[in-house]
Amino acid sequence: MMARIGFIGLGRMGHAMSRQLIAAGHDVSVYDINPAAVQSLAALGAAGADSAAAAASGRDFVVTMLPNGPDVEETLFGAPAVAAAMGQDTLYIDMSTVAPEATDRIAARLKAQGIRMVDAPVGGTSEFAERGQLLILAGGEAADVAAAMPVFDAVGRETIHCGENGAGTRTKIVNNFMSTALNVLTAETLAFAEAAGLDVQRTVKVLAGTTAGKGFLTGAYARKIFAGDISAEFGLGLASKDLTLALIYAANLNVPLGVGAAASQVYQMAKAEGFGGNDWSAALETLRRRAALPEQSFS
């Protein structure tokens, strides 16, 4: 089914996504502040618009893929306003990565105008976008997410409905929080290995086969704290002892391990709270309490 789609924001990601939409046979009108980007897509069959509002007018779907939240808000509500150009039948899809507070403001403001919205930031680099293989993290009404599938199918390999409006944005932020921090933890670990005189690739092979490389989400946490059980599979106190041993050794080697040192403080708090003899996954409960989330009790 061919849809009429307005696409605003033709950077590296947006350009590739627009091309996928054109290739999928949709009727795509495009706009960017950079005229060259508009022209190159017009050459591929898009209708080049001379304003964001023009690109958004009379469309089934309007998609924005912009650098940040202020850009999105200015585009929607500035002059000429995209929000005013969209009709009641238009489904607005923001695929930018923005602050959750911005997504919430935008969704509320559009709702007051009777316009439906899906926040749908993407996972994956521009190379994934080139191949229509992005991961779509969608937030909004189930019916709206379902309605947006022609768009998502053209640009992504998988769409996950994360919850109500704002849940797509929040899931993206939480996901990238973990990946960007894990990058630094990985770098600290390998710099540490090298400073310790180890063969780095041999060490990588070891790490890849243990919890260090395989992670906790579908293994250690699933077996223990997600199952309501924090009896020790690997004791939190022992984990803390191993981490302290590592930090002392690294201090002797003059290797900065700021991420590891910060992690160590959570173990201290967890031990002070009485979790030393429990499973190391109880660190989650310590942090939940610190964030004022309701205390969980364990059998």
Active-site positions read 172
Neighbours of 202 (CB within 10 A): 10
Instruction: Say how far apart CA 269 and CA 190 lie, in whole Å.
Output: 27
Q: What are phi and psi of 138, to 5 degrees?
A: -105, 135
Identity of the residue, 4 or 12, whose beta carbon is nearer to a copy of itself in the bound complex: 12
Residue placing its CB nearer to a copy of itself in the complex, 111 or 290 = 290
Tell the burial category of 90 from Cβ atoms under 10 Å away from its Cβ (0-12, 13-18, 19+). Answer: buried
Closest distance between a copy of itself and the C-beta of residue 33, in Å?
19
Nearer to a copy of itself, 4 or 105 (CB): 105
Cβ closest to a copy of itself, residue 28 vs residue 220: 220
Q: 92 has which bridge partners?
A: 62, 117
Provide the minimum distance between the beta carbon of 8 and a copy of itself in the complex, in angstroms, as a whole number. 20
Strand 122-123 versus strand 134-139 pairing type: antiparallel
Least distance (Å) from a copy of itself to the CB of residue 252? 7
Can you read off the two tokens belonging to residue 93? 């899809």
In the chain, the amino acid numbered 229 is: D
Structure tokens given for 118: 């899906």
Work out how close the CB of 109 gets to a copy of itself at its nearest, in angstroms, rounded to a whole number: 16
